[in-house]
Amino acid sequence: MLEINNFISGKKTPSETKNFVSLYKPTTGEEYARTPVSTPEEFKNIINLMKSAQKNWAETTLMKRSSILFKFKNLIEKNFDELAKIISYEHGKVFSDAKGSLQRGLEVVDFACGIPHLLKGSHSINVGTNVDSFDIRQPLGISAGITPFNFPAMVPMWMFPMSIACGNVFLLKPSEKVPQCSMKLAELFSEAGLPDNVFNIIHGDKSVVDLIIQSPDIASVSFVGSTPVAKYIYSESAKYNKKVQALGGAKNHMVIMEDANLEDAVNGLIGAAFGSAGERCMATSVALPVGKIQKPFMDLLKQKANSIIVGESFDKNSEMGPLITKEHKTKILTYIETGISEGALLELDGRKLSLKGFENGNFVGPTIFNNVTKDMTIYKEEIFGPVLSVVNVENYKQAIDLVNAHEFGNGTSVYTSSGNIARDFTNNVKIGMVGINIPIPVPMAFYSFGGWKNSIFGSNGMHGEEGINFYTRRKTITSKWSGTNIDPSLTMPTIK
């Protein structure tokens, strides 16, 4: 039985805990490892080590930080397939999808390599007589990240490369369900020359999350996961005066207009709805076909969804793998049953899937509901599985009103050949990330990732400019070198 270690002082370190979480292979249901629930004493020791390391790292030159990040990037590229295999093994997503998610994380490392440029401040001379003004960005101290199970590499890589590039030290608590990929990344970062205790990993459950939130030595918390947990982390961290990025759930809509290229739209929807078995916050879980295309849309959608090959994660023919755990599979099956009981039309039933040799795996096939209405549970709640709801609408106004009325505001897209529709959608949809004839509008690393409404808590998204803002504090300096004495005064100073 594999026992997962923490990562402290540049090496794997066994936990002293007697409390462990069992891990099971998503494809077979077999137990294969145990993740420790680290103790408060271990947490305190890690924080003390990081406090000692932080001052030296903050004083490390930008060029030196950048050099280490470049070496880290090169090591990821050299170990790319090995990292992707770890992702597939512990999460269950197919190998091609694992590689794609790793590539998106690598793009953030690439962006962070430009930190000497990204941390440039502004400088103005003679804002007053012999008075100059300039600003600088300084690191926060210790940053922490709490990451979900669905992207064992990409989501942590949204956080720690940016934080560390900015001069912080970073404590990562990955999901206890997928601990191994983060450990490999930490080893590679250490190999790249990162000093000890600049990047540490602690494993655990909610008890460790609360230690992070309550620690007076941690300046910021970054989180991606469900909305209830995001809201909890945001509100609790605010009590301790921390900066918080807390990205929550989603219910992403795709509007398919009558003038859209139907083949392109359905192909995009298939990948967006069923890729990674629907276990991603940018999954499209609601389709809104408009008007007369509704029947041909459904016919084509069912045809293509029926052809998706669901199978073992490392089978080269597999296009969709299993869900993460048996408990999550049960949750998805319950949502399907709820959809049926509330009157939605089940066009494609993923419960009927059976894979020879993998009967104990967490597999659910592509599932499609038609005639879904906005009052149904499967429309209102994030399912986080391969379940697509189709809501038929008569016109564009009905479609955009539905999108805007939903409590989540993470991502959305519209398929159309009309520039007027595209422009109106771009300007008037109340969603943080928008795609025009793009099914999954995830921004590149030099832009920022983050939704609106109940999909985010806190003022900053991940990576890009907002990531730099989040992991630094701005300091503005106004200076005067006049060579003259200044008389004391109790009035508000003004610049003349």
Nearest to 32 by CA among 73, 92, 76: 92
The number of beta carbons lying within 10 Å of the beta carbon of residue 147 is: 25
Residue 178 and residue 264 in one domain: no
Residue 408 and residue 467 in one domain: no
CATH classification at residue 418? 3.40.309.10
Classify residue 461: in a domain, yes or no: yes
115 φ/ψ angles, rounded to the nearest 5 degrees: -60, -35
Name the pLDDT band for 41 (thresholds 50, 70, 90): very high
Q: Is 61 a residue whose pLDDT tops 90?
A: yes
Nearest to 364 by CA among 314, 315, 328, 316: 328
- Find the helix or strand (DSSP H, E) in which 380 lies: helix 377-380
Residue 160 and residue 108 in one domain: yes
Give how far Cα 337 sits from Cα of 42, 283, 329, 351, 476, Å.
Answer: 44, 21, 13, 10, 58
CATH classification at residue 105? 3.40.605.10
Whether the Cβ atoms of residue 50 and residue 169 lie closer than 8 Å to each other: yes
Angle at 95 between CA 91 and CA 99, to 5 degrees: 95
Classify residue 134: in a domain, yes or no: yes
Confidence at residue 481, expressed as pLDDT on a 0 to 100 scale: 81
Name the pLDDT band for 192 (thresholds 50, 70, 90): very high
Residue 195 and residue 91 in one domain: yes
Residue 267 and residue 406 in one domain: yes
SS3 assignment for 240-255: CCCEEEEECCCCEEEE
Q: State the average pLDDT over residues 379-394.
A: 98
In the chain, how many domains are there? 2
Q: State the average pLDDT over residues 452-463.
A: 92
Whether the Cβ atoms of residue 221 and residue 242 lie closer than 8 Å to each other: yes
**CA–CA separation, 458 vs 247, rounded Å?**
8
pLDDT tens for 201-259 read: 999 999 999 999 999 999 999 999 999 999 999 999 999 999 999 999 999 999 999 99
Query: What's the domain range around 274?
Result: 252-436
Whether the Cβ atoms of residue 257 and residue 416 lie closer than 8 Å to each other: yes
Residue 291 and residue 415 in one domain: yes
39 φ/ψ angles, rounded to the nearest 5 degrees: -85, 160
Classify residue 491: in a domain, yes or no: no
Residue 155 and residue 196 in one domain: yes
pTM, whole model, 2 decimals?
A: 0.94
Secondary structure letter of residue 442 according to DSSP:
P
Residue 243 and residue 280 in one domain: no
Classify residue 221: in a domain, yes or no: yes
Residue 161 and residue 280 in one domain: no
Q: State the average pLDDT over residues 374-394.
A: 98
Confidence at residue 458, expressed as pLDDT on a 0 to 100 scale: 86
Confidence at residue 316, expressed as pLDDT on a 0 to 100 scale: 95
**Looking at 113, 166, 181, 281, which residue is catalytic?**
281
Nearest to 211 by CA among 299, 292, 146, 132: 146
Name the pLDDT band for 121 (thresholds 50, 70, 90): confident
Strand ordering across the sheet containing 20-24: 2-3, 31-36, 20-24
Classify residue 493: in a domain, yes or no: no
Residue 102 and residue 202 in one domain: yes
Q: Is 266 a residue whose pLDDT tops 80?
A: yes
Q: Is 144 a residue whose pLDDT tops 80?
A: yes
The token pair that represents 279 in the structure block:
């276990």
Confidence at residue 492, expressed as pLDDT on a 0 to 100 scale: 74
Residue 237 and residue 258 in one domain: no
Classify residue 371: in a domain, yes or no: yes
Mean pLDDT value across the chain: 96
The rounded percent of the chain whose pLDDT value lies above 70 is 98
The least confident of 43-57, 400-414, 454-468 is: 454-468
Residue 242 and residue 109 in one domain: yes
Classify residue 490: in a domain, yes or no: no
161 φ/ψ angles, rounded to the nearest 5 degrees: -65, -40
Known catalytic membership, residue 281 = yes
